[in-house]
């Protein structure tokens, strides 16, 4: 389980670096002048989206929700155990008929 999380974090680090590189490359070329109209609007929306992507990857990399993820994993394990018990009980009932 730990190696999967590490691989997953590396993937997010790569995506973060790519998003930052795109932003650094594109920001000087985007016109934010008020008279530019649609071009200016596109630049603002594109930049906002890039910052959202960067923020999402940082959020995951920093592990802000690790406690929440642990709680969800515990619930998931409990449900699997419950399904296994129910499956075993159904199997026993089928054999007794």
Per DSSP, the residues of 41-69 read HHHHHHHHHHHHHHHHHHHHHHTTTHHHH
pLDDT band at 1 (very low <50, low <70, confident <90, very high): very low
pTM, rounded to two decimals: 0.57
* φ/ψ (deg, to 5) at 15: -65, -35
Q: Give the start-to-end residue ranges of the domains of the chain.
A: 1-64, 65-97
User: What's the confidence (pLDDT) of residue 25?
Assistant: 92
pLDDT of residue 94: 66
Cβ burial 61-95 (10 Å sphere, 16+ → b, else e): eeeeeeeeeeeeeeeeeeeeeeeeeeeeeeeeeee
pLDDT band per the 50, 70, 90 thresholds, residue 24: very high
Paired tokens of 31: 């016109």
**Cα distances (Å, whole numbers) of residue 15 to 50, 58, 88:** 11, 10, 44
């Amino acid at each position: 389980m730990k190696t999967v999380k590490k691989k997953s974090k590396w993937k997010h680090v790569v995506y973060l670096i790519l998003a930052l590189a795109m932003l650094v490359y594109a920001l000087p070329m985007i016109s934010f002048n008020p008279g530019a109209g649609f071009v200016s609007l596109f630049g603002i929306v594109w930049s906002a989206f890039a910052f959202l992507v960067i923020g999402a990857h940082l959020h995951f990399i920093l592990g802000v929700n690790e406690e929440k993820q642990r709680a969800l994993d515990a619930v998931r394990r409990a449900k699997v155990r419950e399904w296994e018990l129910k499956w075993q009980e159904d199997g026993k009932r089928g054999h007794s008929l």
